[in-house]
Each structure stands twice: as structure tokens, then as C-alpha cells.
Amino acid sequence: MSGAADEGLRIASFNVNGIRASVRRGFGSWLAERAPDVVGLQELRCPVEALPHEAWPGYHLAYHPGGIAGRNGVALLTRVAPIAVRMGFGSRAFDDEGRYLEIDVDLPGLPLTIGSLYVPKGGRPAEPAEQRAHRRKVAFLRSFGPYLTRARRRAAGAGREFCVLGDFNIAHGPLDLANPGGNVRNPGYLPQERAWLDGVLGPRSLLDVVRVHRPDERGPYSWWTWRGQGWNRDSGWRIDYHLVSPGLARRVVAAGTDREGSYEARMSDHSPVVVDYRR
């Protein structure tokens, strides 16, 4: 995929790992070249007054910074102004953390409800020092799963397609990480995390459109550690997803990851996941 989507719509998701740092590394140039109609962003980690608006000219910004300074934060950039913005998903425990933002937007030929999501990383349940992080991730998933069902049905009732995209911090299956055998006890590939994705995906509910479009491919990965030779060896994880309603999935014409050309050119420890749709 390259350039703007001809006679179609382009939707991207990108965990920027600090929007100001990502802008310094070339986010604005990527955005101008790829010209998506919608971009879901995660981990902006930026106060509202310090947002680098000059990096996204021509876009409307909806932003949920959360209440934890220097952490989290989710956003949606759209070429068409949203007609409704909802912060959080009705969770007393998590709505102040800046982990979910949802909008209704009427794109050309596509009334859409779209959410930008950042799931907690979690921890190893067998490690006492990490048990709390593991329990918080499990609690988040248990709360967010039923909300996804409600949001999807609400969108369908209003005649809208539905999409939730972002950093799920879960590799769903063996094709979604470079070393599945060595990670079965690590956060991001725990059985209960993968089972949660099993529960929200289905042919009549939500589809992982990158995997549908590229069913037998290892990856394409969306996250690589900054450390060591993981990037150069392409030893990564596919943990960033576009989960979409069946009607929207039928419109997909291209789907993949914008992996940068070199380690030095990376904008984040994640790379953008981009999906093109026909109108």
C-alpha cells in the first residue's frame, strides 16, 4: 500500500509511544504521505495544551488524555468532523486512564462508529511483583468485552458500521509473534488473554481484518522491542488490530503494517497498521 487510497477509504491505527517523540521521528511526514481518512492513536502521553497540532493539518482531533500524567492517552484524527464523541466505556476503574475513545463519523459513503483502544500491558501471573498488573488487565478485558457487544449493536441499530482499533497488547495465535513457544507464560500471549479475543471475534460480530485478508502469513508484526536485534531479525509481535463489523470487513481491499525501512527510521516501538476499504 502506498499513497492515498484511490476512490476508497483508508483507516490506520498507530501506538505512537509519545506523540511528541513520534512527531520528531517523522509522524507528520508519514501522515501526509499515507493520507488516511481516519487514524486511531494510542499512548500519546501528552497534556492537551502541549499537543503538536501542526503535525496533522486538515484533520479534526478527538482526544481522551486520561488523568495519569505522562501515561496512556488515546485519540482519533478524522478528515470529516465527528458528529459525536464518547470518552471511556462506562468503567469506574478505567475511564479516567485514557484507554478508550469512541466517535460517530459520517465518512463519504460510510456512516461509522469507531473506537481507539489501549489495553493494559499486564504482567506474569506467576510472579508476585507482577500479579497486580495481570489482575488489572484481566479486569479491563472482562469489563470491555460486554461493552464491545453493546457498542457494536448500538452502531448496527443506527445504521452504522463498527470498528475498534488500537493496541490490544495480545498476540492472538502462533502466527502473531515470532516466538510463540517461548512466550506461553508471558503477558500478551497468556491463554486467558487469547481466549478473550476468541470470545469477541466471530463471523457475525467482529473480524480481525488483517488476519482475514492475510490468513496464512506470519505477522505482519506491529511491535518490536527497541532493545537488541529484534527489529533487524523481524522478531516482533502482532498486537495492534482493526476489529470490524462484517459489513465493513467485506469492503477491505488491502491490509497490513507500515514497517519502516530501517531501525533508525522508526517512529515508535510500534508501526502503523493500515487498512484500505472500497466505498
Q: Is residue 196 part of a domain?
A: yes
Annotated catalytic sites, by residue? Answer: 167
Provide the CATH number for the domain around residue 67.
Answer: 3.60.10.10
Q: Is residue 109 part of a domain?
A: yes
Model confidence band, residue 129 (pLDDT cutoffs 50, 70, 90): very high
**Residues facing 270 on adjacent strands:** 223
Q: Is residue 130 part of a domain?
A: yes
Cβ pair 168, 15 in contact under 8 A: no
Give residue-wise pLDDT tens across range 89-126. 999 999 999 999 999 999 999 999 999 999 999 999 99
Model confidence band, residue 1 (pLDDT cutoffs 50, 70, 90): very low
pLDDT of residue 144: 98
Classify 179 as helix, strand or coil.
coil
Range of the domain at 271: 8-278
Query: How many domains is the chain partitioned into structurally?
Result: 1
**Phi and psi based region of residue 150 (left: phi greater than 0; alpha: psi -120 to 50; beta: remaining):** alpha
115, 104, 105: which is closest to 41 by C-alpha?
115
Model confidence band, residue 4 (pLDDT cutoffs 50, 70, 90): low
Model confidence band, residue 226 (pLDDT cutoffs 50, 70, 90): very high
Give residue-wise pLDDT tens across range 249-277. 999 999 999 999 999 999 999 999 999 99
Give residue-wise pLDDT tens across range 146-155. 999 999 999 9
Cell of 212: 482475514
pTM exceeding 0.85: yes
Report the range of poorest mean pLDDT among 139-143, 226-230, 243-247, 266-270: 226-230
Cell of 215: 490468513
Percent of the chain exceeding pLDDT 90 equals 97
E strand spans, the chain: 8-15, 38-42, 60-64, 74-78, 84-87, 100-107, 110-118, 161-167, 207-208, 240-244, 252-257, 273-278
- Residues 97, 71: Cα–Cα separation, whole Å: 8
DSSP character for 264? G
Q: Is residue 3 part of a domain?
A: no
- Residues 69, 214: Cα–Cα separation, whole Å: 38
Mean pLDDT of the chain: 96
Q: Is residue 121 part of a domain?
A: yes
Per DSSP, the chain holds a count of helices (H) and strands (E) of 6, 12
